[in-house]
Amino acid sequence: MGMSCFPVDLHMCLSSKPELKMTLCISSNEHKLNFKKSKEGCLSYIQDALLQKQWKRAAEFLTCYVESLEKDYSREHIGPSEMIWRIGTEILWHHSQSSMKEFNCFMEQMKTLGVKRYLKVCLEHVFHLLCNGQIDEAYQNLSLAESWRFGEQTAIQDKEMKLIQAYRGLLDYCSWSKQKNILLENGEDGFSDLAVEQEMHGYFRKAAVNLKEIIKIPGVWDVFVKCYVDLLEFYGDHNEARQVLNEYAYNSKFPANPNAHVYLYQFLKRQGESKKSLISALKILHDIVPSHELMIDFNTMLQKSKKRKKRRLGLEVIFTGLDYAGWKENAKAWSCLARQVKQIVISEKHLDWIKQEWNSRKDWWPAFHFSHYLAKRNWQENKSLSYEKALVAGILLGKDCKYFKYVSHQGCKAQLKRFRMLKKFVNRHSLVYLRISGVPGLRRAPRIFPGDSWLLCWAQPQAVNPAFPVSCPHGRKCTGKDSKPHKLLLPKHCQGHCHVLMATQTSRGTCQ
């Protein structure tokens, strides 16, 4: 078995690794021992090249490996293995200088590996032809595979024969889709051509039969399910399509498959199903793949719900998604989180939700999301992203957070109004950071409302804890930063928690 299909030079391969060449050029007395070493050496180099995606180098060493097997063939029966087929296919698929002609040549050689692998090689050949749009060639190869018979091996490879039928259905679907597009492009004139329409229906019937059979067998049949559902939807058989997708997603005999729930959700959405049905489909997807891109849609639907439990779940969903590196720069996700956090902070309700989510993340999120380096990079690459992240960082980590300080400073420096408003918002709600961080002994900022009793005090500078401002709807806020003594309205029931160090009582009253 030669490897002439590979665009490589064996001498180049040997010269690139002198130690391998020395191992191959061996005396007859040490042949068996050194042959094993040379083979293992080749495989090691091939593996290294594949891992580094050095396809040309991998092709050179695979050629060398096959040459060594051919030289040893007369001494010991060591035929080409499935490994050559697998590795060679991967290399040719990615090699910059390979062509379909070379790929077809290689696959034809691989079909001679032995009867046990014949149908598998045929299936892979058909798959690559299909990926390259060579439908007619794929049909021809499938026809040869369908007619293949080899005694007991025919029955043993029953699974492969079923896959052959399934791929036949896939090819029929491609032909149906091509005819459908032609008819739709031509409009009414196209549908008046009965011959073309009948041909399309013929492909539909053949495709439907083969696709329906394969998806009954427990397994992962994503492409076949999608094609079959497309056929059913086109002809208006929505009930059958729904049944197929429900079976594929919920049948316990089938392996857990996130795509099954994605297809079901997309179908329900196309059919205009209720939000309850959509949420139910995405809830299971969230349990399987919490970082799936559809979790943003899931969060949006949950936030629009009137039920507190679902809004709480929405916050959990978006926090969980942002735990994954693939979401680090997802502007939509950060926008969702920023919007929900802002709503909670303004309403001062459910701050415990944020605290619960933040408790398990406060040790690693600052470095993962809110470093000074990320602040600079996000600002340069995506100002909208940096705005959303800065808002979240300011609430979760306070106004002294490196990320918030850098982004708000750059935004104000660039005279962008939204960043000035962001800075004011975070400063105004700086106490939230302390509450969700769980600072011991710290309580809600005291306020005086109509009907409260109050004490009118003269507070000296720094008399009030700067981290604990005291405010009144009818008075001024005291942050402890004023340079002169000033009036401070203080509710009686808060006296024990406000740390007023230097104050003289002057009068009492009731806030009107």
498 part of a folded domain: yes
Portion of the chain with pLDDT greater than 90, in percent: 41
Paired tokens of 292: 């799936």
Burial of 481 (0-12, 13-18, 19+ CB in 10 A): exposed
pTM score, two decimals? Answer: 0.72
Number of domains in the chain: 1
Residue 282 domain-assigned? no
> Model confidence at 156, in pLDDT bands (50, 70, 90)?
low
**Would you state the pLDDT for residue 30?**
57
pLDDT-wise least confident of 28-32, 132-136, 284-288, 464-468? 464-468
Strands, E assignment, 405-461:
453-459
**Does any domain span residue 485?**
yes
In contact, 305 and 321? CB cutoff 8 Å: no
CA 488 to chain centroid, in Å, comes to 54
Residue with tokens 């800065």: 390
pLDDT tens digits, 92-145? 888 877 788 888 888 888 887 766 778 888 888 888 888 888 888 888 888 888
Residue 504 has pLDDT above 50, yes or no: no
CA 258 to each of CA 108, 263, 284, 475: distance values in angstroms, whole numbers, following the listed order: 36, 9, 9, 57
Q: Tell me which of 178-192, 319-333, 391-405 is least confident.
A: 178-192
Residue 80 located in a structural domain: no
- What is the sign, positive or negative, of the torsion defined by CA atoms of 496, 499, 501, 505? negative
8-22, 266-280, 401-415, range with greatest mean pLDDT: 266-280
pLDDT of residue 487 exceeding 50: no
- Work out whether the CA dihedral 312, 317, 323, 329 comes out positive or negative: negative
In a domain, 164, yes or no: no
Q: What is the mean pLDDT of residues 322-339?
A: 96
What confidence tens digit (pLDDT) does each residue in 43-66 have? 888 888 889 888 888 888 888 777
Specify if 493 maps to a domain.
yes
Give the pLDDT confidence score for residue 35 in this predicted structure.
Answer: 60
Residue 494 lies in a domain: yes
Q: Look up tokens 């046990």; give the residue.
A: 116
**395 vs 119: which has the higher pLDDT:** 395
Report whether 337 contacts 394 (CB < 8 A): no
Range of the domain at 473: 453-510
pLDDT at 209 > cutoff 80: yes
Phi-psi region of 350 (alpha: psi -120 to 50; beta: other; left: phi over 0): left
Query: Rounded distance, CA 206 to CA 501, Å?
Result: 88
pLDDT score for 12: 40
Of the candidates 274, 291, 277, 389, which has an alpha carbon nearest to the alpha carbon of residue 341? 389
Higher pLDDT, 160 or 395: 395
Q: Please give the mean pLDDT across all residues of the chain.
A: 78
pLDDT of 312 over the 50 cut: yes
pLDDT confidence of 460, banded at 50, 70, 90?
Answer: very low
> Residue 367: CB partners within 8 Å, gap ≥ 6?
none
Q: Confirm whether 479 is domain-assigned.
A: yes
